[in-house]
Structure 1
Amino acid sequence: MATITERLTNMLAPAVEALDYELVGIEFIRAGKHSTLRVYIDHPQGISVDDCAHVSRQASAVLDVEDPINVEYNLEVSSPGMDRPLFTAAHYEQFQGEMAQVVLSVPVAGKRKFTGVIRTVVDNTVTFGVGEETLDVEVATIKKANLVPNFD
């Protein structure tokens, strides 16, 4: 059975892509009446507030028809920003050599949280360089990951 974020991604991706944006990923944060559905979009020319509003209207229409969430929530549409979230193996491939903060759903080599360099991606396994060691992590076990902004 698909998770809520997988179902939402499959539901919203066609609408977002029809508007000529990339659906980077979706986060659904359950918090009772203060739940949040966050939709990250991108475009080669960048993202403006107007872009977010345009996608928000389209996503709202789809969500109103499909009604996939049974609690109150706020819809947020955002650019990925400098601390871009990473959701798929393709994202890790795209940002090889970059530093990422990672939180795992299960520990790997005794680590649940770490910051490391994205080294390689092979068959949904990401190899991170963490200090002097390397960690091989299945994408499915990554709870959350974000790029660490580099201001150099």
Structure 2
Amino acid sequence: MAFNKIESQVLKYLEPIAAEADVEIWDIEFQKEGPNHVLRVYLDKAGGICLDDCETVSRALEAVLDEKDPIPQAYLLEVSSAGLDRAIKYKTHFEKCMGKNVDVKLFAPVDGTKEFTAALNGFDGKTVTFQIDGEAKTLPLDKISSIRLSIEF
């Protein structure tokens, strides 16, 4: 995972909390949104995350962050499930989601489209391969704005 300094520090405090709660850390984001800074923690586990999981992790993390004080400015803490349409950003995400359908958004059109849904077929750290209508299509990672699990009803 590639985190900024604050996210990396939070990860160190969060890892034992997540292990104790038997949940997986899917992602951490620390961003400025309007006048506020927001620390978001996304969790996952087999069978799905429930409200109690989020509450347990949030309370434990809040206590550690209050004690260690790694974030100099005021911020809001949000702990939630990674969601059904979770973002796929890191090598571990690609590995777990291989073969599944994903929604892809591009920075600029390729073959006349900026968005498509396809099966995730490969990832080598620099390129992503998708299966689209029976054909493999490989795109450089830096051309892709976002990849999220596709929600199928």
TM-score where L is the length of structure 2: 0.74
User: RMSD between aligned alpha carbons?
Assistant: 3.2
Tell me the equivalent position of 1:19.
21
SS of the residue 2:33 aligns to: coil
Any gaps of 5 or more consecutive residues in structure 2?
A: none
Which range moved further: 140-149 or 9-18? 140-149
Note the alpha carbon deviations across 1:17-46, whole angstroms, 9 max, x for none.
222111111122212542221111122132
SS of the residue 1:30 aligns to: strand
Distance 1:133 1:6 in 2: 35
Distance 2:127 2:103 in 1: 16
How far is 1:134 from its partner? 1.8
Tell me the equivalent position of 1:3.
4
Amino acid at match of 1:115: F
Any gaps of 5 or more consecutive residues in structure 1?
A: none
Aligned residues: 149
Where do 1:35-114 residues align within 5 Å? 35-102=37-104, 114=115
Larger radius of gyration: 2
Distance 1:98 1:63 in 2: 36
Taking only the aligned residue pairs, the percentage that are identical comes to: 34
Distance 1:40 1:116 in 2: 23
Distance 2:3 2:151 in 1: 32
